[in-house]
Amino acid sequence: MENISNPNNQKSIIIIGGGPAGIACAIQLKRYDIPVLLIEKSEIGGLLFNANFVENYLGFPDGISGEDIVRRIQVHYNKNEIETRFVNVVSLEYIENKFIIRTTKGKYYSEIVVIASGTKPKLFDNKKIPDAIIEKLFYEVKHISNVQNKTIGIIGAGDAAFDYAINLSKNNKMIIFNKNKTIKCLPLLFRRSQNSKNITYLEDRKLIRLSESEKRIRANFIFFNKDENYLLDYIIFAIGREPELDFLNSSVIDCYDELLKNKKLFVIGDVKNGITRQASIAAGDGVKTAMIINDLLGEKDGIPHEEYRK
Ligand SMILES: Cc1cc2nc3c(=O)[nH]c(=O)nc-3n(C[C@H](O)[C@H](O)[C@H](O)COP(=O)(O)OP(=O)(O)OC[C@H]3O[C@@H](n4cnc5c(N)ncnc54)[C@H](O)[C@@H]3O)c2cc1C
C-alpha cells in the first residue's frame, strides 16, 4: 500500500480529477514550479472524450472530435511530466489542518486540495431492471463508440442526448425518446439530428419498463395513455448530471465554506459550474486557480516563495 506522508509530499498540491479543469490547473502549477500530484480514477481527458464534435474550443476553426481533442490534451499533459496516480479517491478528510486523501491504493496528505472531479450521471431508477440487460445500458457514449448496425435508444432531450445520437448514427439506427415536448439542446444539434436518416426523434414517451426479449432490450413507454414498446440493442441514458462529490467526508463538509474562504480547498470545473458546464470554462477555472495558489504560496507565513517550492 502506497503511503506518501513525508514532509515533501505534504507540500504538493493535490488535484482530484484529470479532466480539462484538473489538467489545466496542473500544467499551470507546473509552470510555476509548484509541486503537484494529480489523481485520476480513469484516464486523462475526462468527460470531453464523449463529445461528438467540439466546435467552441478556441484553436480548432473546423471543429474537432472529442476523442481527438482528448488525445491532444493527453500529449500536452504527458509532455509536462506531472506526477500522476491512476486511482479512485474514496474519501477526502480534513484533520488537524491537513487533508487526507484516501484512495483505493493508499493515502496522501496535502495542505491544499483542488477538487476537479466533474459530474456523475443521474441514474435511471433501476430497481426493476433485469440483470440480463444491465450490461446493455450506458450513461456515456464512449463505452459503445465502436458498435455498428445496432438499434440504440437514447433517453433524454438535452445537448448530450442529441450529441450521442449524432455520434452513433454514423453506424447505427438511433431513436431519441423525450418524455416531454420540450427540447433542451442547441438548435444546431437538433437540426443535424433531423438531417440524419438514421435518427428518429420521439416526444411524449415516458419510459416505464425495461425487460429482456430475444436477447435484446424491450423498452416500454407510455404514449398518450397507451403502452408502446421498442426492441433495442443498447440504451444510453442522458437524463442529466450532478456534481461528483461522493468522496467528501463529514470533516470536510462541516467546514466546507471555511476551507474555500481560507483557500485551502478549491473546487473547479463542471463539479461547481451548474448549467455552464463547458471544457473551456473548466480549463479557465484550472488556470485561474493555479494563479491564485501561486499568489497564495508567495505570501505563506512569511516563507519566501522560492523556499516553499523546494
Ligand atoms: C456529449 C458531450 C458533449 C460535450 N461537448 C462539449 C463541447 O462541444 N464543448 C465544450 O466545451 N464542452 C463540451 N462538453 C462538456 C465538457 O466535456 C465538460 O465541460 C468538461 O469535460 C469538464 O471538465 P472537468 O475537468 O470539470 O470535468 P470532467 O471532464 O468530468 O473530469 C473530471 C475527472 O475527474 C475524475 N474523477 C471523478 N471522481 C474521481 C475520484 N473519486 N477519484 C479520481 N478521479 C475522479 C473523472 O474520472 C474525470 O476524468 C461535452 C460534454 C458531453 C457529455
C-alpha to C-alpha distance for 62 and 56, rounded to whole angstroms: 10
Contacts of 259 (CB under 8 A, 6+ apart): 94, 252, 265
Inter-residue contact 231 to 217 (CB < 8 Å): yes
pLDDT at 303 over 70: no
Confidence at 310, pLDDT banded by 50, 70, 90? low
What would the grid cell of residue 21 be?
479543469
pTM of the model: 0.92
C-alpha to C-alpha distance for 19 and 44, rounded to whole angstroms: 6
pLDDT at 306 over 90: no
Same domain, 116 and 9: yes
Q: How many angstroms does the Cα of residue 51 sit away from the middle of ligand 1?
A: 10
Q: Is 279 in the pocket of ligand 1 (CB under 6 A)?
A: yes
C-alpha to C-alpha distance for 214 and 235, rounded to whole angstroms: 16
pLDDT digits (tens, 9 = 90+) for 144-155: 999 999 999 999
Q: Of 219, 237, 255, which residue is a domain's last?
A: 237
Work out the average pLDDT over 197-223. Answer: 95
Residue nearest to atom 52 of ligand 1 (CA): 51
Confidence at 309, pLDDT banded by 50, 70, 90? low
Q: How many angstroms does the Cα of residue 22 sit away from the middle of ligand 1?
A: 10
Same domain, 139 and 286: no
Residues in the chain: 310
Same domain, 184 and 209: yes
Same domain, 104 and 246: yes
Residue 126 located in a structural domain: no
Over pLDDT 70: what percentage of the chain?
Answer: 92
Q: In the prediction, which pLDDT does 17 show?
A: 98
Q: Is 156 in the pocket of ligand 1 (CB under 6 A)?
A: no
Q: Which atom of ligand 1 is nearest to the CA of 285?
A: 26
Q: Of 237, 267, 296, which residue is a domain's last?
A: 237
Same domain, 151 and 175: yes
Residue nearest to atom 13 of ligand 1 (CA): 278
Query: pLDDT averaged over the chain?
Result: 92
Work out the average pLDDT over 287-298. Answer: 94
Same domain, 219 and 286: no
Same domain, 185 and 270: no
Q: How many angstroms does the Cα of residue 165 sit away from the middle of ligand 1?
A: 19
- Pick the range with the lowest mean pLDDT from 147-151, 190-194, 263-267, 301-305: 301-305
CB atoms within 10 A of CB 214: 7
Same domain, 217 and 167: yes
Q: Is 280 in the pocket of ligand 1 (CB under 6 A)?
A: yes
Inter-residue contact 192 to 166 (CB < 8 Å): yes
pLDDT digits (tens, 9 = 90+) for 96-116: 999 999 999 999 999 999 999
pLDDT at 39 over 70: yes
- Number of domains composing the chain: 2
Same domain, 188 and 100: no
Coil, strand or helix: which one is 287? Answer: helix
Residue 125 located in a structural domain: no
- Which of 25, 117, 174 should be mutated for ligand 1, with most atoms under 8 A from CB? 117
Same domain, 206 and 251: no
Q: How many angstroms does the Cα of residue 228 sit away from the middle of ligand 1?
A: 35
What would the grid cell of residue 71 be?
488525445
Residue 75 located in a structural domain: yes
Same domain, 253 and 111: yes
Same domain, 89 and 65: yes
C-alpha to C-alpha distance for 7 and 209, rounded to whole angstroms: 55
Q: Of 215, 237, 259, which residue is a domain's last?
A: 237
Q: Which atom of ligand 1 is nearest to the CA of 45?
A: 49
Work out the average pLDDT over 237-244. Answer: 97
Range of the domain at 104: 2-120+241-309
Q: Is 247 in the pocket of ligand 1 (CB under 6 A)?
A: yes
Residue 215 located in a structural domain: yes
What would the grid cell of residue 130 be?
433485469
Find where cell 478556441 sits.
58
Residue nearest to atom 9 of ligand 1 (CA): 54
pLDDT digits (tens, 9 = 90+) for 6-36: 444 455 899 999 999 999 999 999 999 999 9
Query: 284: domain CATH number?
Result: 3.50.50.60
